[in-house]
Chain A
Amino acid sequence: MSGHAIAALFQRPHYWSDVWLQMDIIGVGSLPIVALTGFFSGAVMALQMFDTLATFGATAKTGTAVSFTLVLQMGPVLTALMMAGRNSAGMASELGSMAVTEQIDAMRALGTDPIKKLVAPRLLATMVVLPLLTAIADFIGMFGGFVISYFVIRLSPTQYWTSTYRDLRVDDVVHGLTKPLVFAFAVALVGCYSGLSTRGGTQGVGRSTTQAVVAASVMILALNLLMTQIFVRG
């Protein structure tokens, strides 16, 4: 199915209205949860890192620690995990309900390829919005780190924000935004596959939804390990 869905991205007909709709559902709909996740991750990281850095007398590096961890690891992974929980599950339950009520068969009977109509728009939309959401989560996470640094740790804003961006290289940002592009495949394809292969009525829909979240989450963590290895070891 993955190969078929990727090929469908380049074949006519393109269901652009479905792509926009999915970008709205997946992207705009996920903004609050992604923003909250980013904020609290950044805040807790600042709190934790300050404690560790204080033992080395390097509390001025709190911003650096927060931005590095967020941009390279926590931002992409946590955003993708939130997306797996929200969107892989949503795709699995929506397509699963369609499968058990014969809507997928009806679509094929009416001469439409369900992969092109249902899977390709969801994949494309996820590939576009996941890197954007990750960038937003990274930024809000840094802001969360700033709130803790300023109000709890009492670092000056200049000290925090300077250390946040000064040590970050373009390569780090590129790596941090490449990961969500790859995670998008896990989020969308696992969700769609679980949905389309649903059997066994409403109970089956529940099973597919759970299976989608678990499989997508594990896949994201495994892909993150693999990509970190590639980026770090070159």
Chain B
Amino acid sequence: MGSPVLEFSKVTLLFDEVVGLENVSFRLEAGDSLVILGVAGSGKSVLLKVALGLYRPDAGHVYLFGEQIDGMREKELHGLRRRVGMLFQESALFDSLTVGENVAYPLVNQSGGAPDDPEGIESRVREALRFVELEGALEKLPSELSGGMRRRVGIARAIVNGPPLVLYDSPTAGLDPITAHTIMTLILKERDASEVASVLVTHRLQNGHLLANFRYHPASEELRPAPRDEDGRGSRTRFLVLRQGRLVFEGDQEDLNRQQDSYLRNFGTLSR
């Protein structure tokens, strides 16, 4: 087993007296997926921000691509963050930039604001927008887009520079079921096409189920059940469940379904 792309070791984060995370440990290997479940306020989004170094833990260590980031200066973190794609809960697109400029931002930023190859950047932006089926929205402003379209642009921005790790913060929150399925299809498409490691924060149980049990089928452009191995366990997807900042479960979906704890049963019932 190589060095994990992301590792938390006994991470604790406090906001004044309120616990954000408490003694959380886990590892994520390259190409694997992690589904983080929990009720609102359980620390799911906080965990993603700690993973990116946006919040610094009060105790414990965080390793990103094998490098310990909890003691790093902001300047040192910038290089590592460019290797991570992040879809924020409300997309967090820059209001003053067009869709094309938003998606190009990570590429332009890597070149210090003065890109050597603007044509190459434009072609990659178009490719990323084609991936999320929004090539026609290149010149639109975020305010002209629907919620689902904004998430798709957010995904395009997260994957445009081909990061080996993508973090998704509640990508389907507030969306109708059909749009939510489209977003999940794009997430699986990116995972399966590029073999990237994915961390999905959600409280929509169907999302974890899709990530664990389905794969993107390029020919039909739809999701199909993943083939299962001899143990009947088919995926490289693990589930973490958070409760008030504490990690109360880690395992695969079968393990989660077997839990008897009333809190955990909330997250296992759908896939039974």
Binding site for B on A (CB under 8 A): 12-13, 15, 17, 97-98, 101-103, 105-113
Contacts and interface: CB of A to CB of B under 8 A. Distances in A.
Interface stretch (B59-67, B80-88, B178-186): B80-88
A110 B89 CA distance: 15
A98 B90 CA distance: 12
Contacts of B54: 105, 108-109
Interface string B187-226: 0000000000000000000000000000000000000000
A98 B94 CA distance: 8
B106 A110 contact: yes
B109 A110 contact: yes
Nearest to B78: A111
B232 interface: no
A93 B142 CA distance: 19
B92 A113 contact: no
Given A103-B94, A103-B95, A110 B88 contact: no
Going nearest first, the 7 A-B pairs with the smallest beta carbon separation are A106-B92, A102-B92, A111-B78, A13-B112, A111-B82, A109-B86, A102-B88
B2 interface: no
Contact of A111 (B90, B92, B110, B114): B110
B177 interface: no
A106 B88 CA distance: 7
A102 B106 contact: no
Given A103-B95, A110-B105, A111-B79, A13 B89 contact: no
- For B74, B79, B110, which residue has the most chain A Cβ atoms within 10 angstroms? B74
Interface string B97-121: 0000000011001101110000000
Nearest to A114: B74
A11 to B, nearest CB: 10
Contact of B92 (A12, A17, A101): A101
B52 A102 contact: no
B112 A105 contact: no
A13 B113 CA distance: 7
B246 interface: no
Contacts of B88: 102, 105-106, 109
B75 interface: yes
A101 B79 CA distance: 24
Nearest to B167: A109
A156 to B, nearest CB: 52
Contact of B94 (A12, A15, A106, A108): A106
Contacts of B49: 105
Given A108-B74, A111-B109, 12 more contacts: A101-B95, A102-B89, A105-B88, A106-B88, A106-B92, A106-B93, A106-B94, A108-B52, A108-B81, A109-B81, A110-B82, A111-B110
B94 A111 contact: no
A113 B73 CA distance: 12
Contacts of B82: 110-111
7 contacts: A98-B95, A102-B92, A109-B81, A109-B84, A110-B105, A110-B106, A113-B78
Given A103-B92, A106-B92, A111 B113 contact: no
Contact of B86 (A13, A97, A101, A106): A106
A103 B49 CA distance: 13
Interface in B142-192: 157
A134 B54 CA distance: 40
A97 B214 CA distance: 38
A205 to B, nearest CB: 13
Contacts of B79: 111
A103 B90 CA distance: 10
Nearest to A15: B113
Interface in B40-61: 49, 52, 54
A189 B34 CA distance: 41
A111 B163 CA distance: 13
A105 B49 CA distance: 9
- For A98, A105, A109, A113, which residue has the most chain B Cβ atoms within 10 angstroms? A109
Nearest to A17: B113
Contacts of A98: 94-95
Contact of A12 (B78, B81, B112): B112
Nearest to B48: A109
A196 B82 CA distance: 22
A12 B114 CA distance: 12
A97 B157 CA distance: 20
A119 to B, nearest CB: 14
